Chains A and B, each alone.
Chain A
Amino acid sequence: MTAAAANIDDVFRALGDPTRRKIIEQLSAKPVSASALAEPLGITLTAVGQHIRVLERSGLVQSEKVGRVRTCRVRAAGFAVIERWIDSQRTLWQTRLDRLAQVLEEPE
């Protein structure tokens, strides 16, 4: 999945976790290596890697590995409201039409 096609639900999920919000907050200041993220958060490098993967899937963060260092940065385009809005409208209508099925299933 491309970042632009990432679902608004992925964004909600990504931002629903306090550790991931701290990571975004740090990255919004400047690009940071995964190991430098782990230290102040008091979590393992493995745990940071899992959070980064969720954030990457949401399109909010991108990372790049050079040698042994993985550098993470905020992906500005991931915050493009218009793309998110279009995604959210599509998701909204899908949910609506599924809910319509439930309403129609009820006895009249």
Chain B
Amino acid sequence: MEANPVVHNTFVLMRDYSRPPESVFRAFSDVATKRRWFAEGDHHLVEQFELDFRVGGAERLRYRLSPKTPFPNALIAAEGVCLDIVPDRRVVIASAMTFESRPISVTLVTATLTAIDSGTRLTCIHQGVFFDGADGPQIREAGWVKLLERLGTAV
């Protein structure tokens, strides 16, 4: 781990939903709906979410981690682009993420919708390259080491 400048990682998630593919697809294409499941979260506050849902269109997400996390108020930003859209079938989005303005990962997310008897099967393939090169040690310093320092003053 320490010797590698980058780490590649792929994970696959699968979910069955009780709605038809058109409804699930709408949750990807409608910006207000996507904001609710994709952008919002219990551990952060969304500062910005924009989605221009067309091939070549941009997806922008900026959020700050909540004060109760190990990185209070840290800014995480994802700048993405829609690469492939097949209505009711597929959405492919690539995005570059930064942690406190430092590049930390680039991901390619392929969401495939398949009609099943009970509704829709969503397969989500998340392929990422996680940087642990020049910026890695800096992130480490800015992150966990800073955390330890902060703990020293907080306790």
Contact = CB atoms under 8 A, between A and B. Distances in A.
B124 A95 contact: no
A90 B125 CA distance: 11
A21 B151 CA distance: 7
State the main secondary structure of chain A at its contact with B. helix
State the main secondary structure of chain B at its contact with A. mixed
Interface in B91-137: 99, 104-105, 107, 122, 124, 126, 128, 130-132, 136
A80 interface: yes
B152 A25 contact: yes
B3 interface: no
Chain B's interface size range is 35 or more
B15 A81 contact: no
B85 interface: no
A86 to B, nearest CB: 5
A42 interface: no
B132 A82 contact: yes
Given A28-B148, A81-B140, 5 more contacts: A16-B68, A82-B132, A86-B7, A93-B13, A104-B23
22 contacts: A12-B43, A15-B70, A24-B151, A25-B151, A79-B140, A82-B130, A83-B1, A85-B99, A86-B7, A86-B9, A86-B130, A90-B11, A92-B41, A93-B124, A93-B126, A96-B38, A97-B13, A97-B122, A99-B36, A100-B15, A103-B37, A104-B27
Interface of B: 1, 7, 9, 11, 13, 15, 17-19, 23-24, 27, 33, 36-38, 40-43, 68-70, 99, 104-105, 107, 122, 124, 126, 128, 130-132, 136, 139-140, 143-144, 147-148, 151-152, 154-155
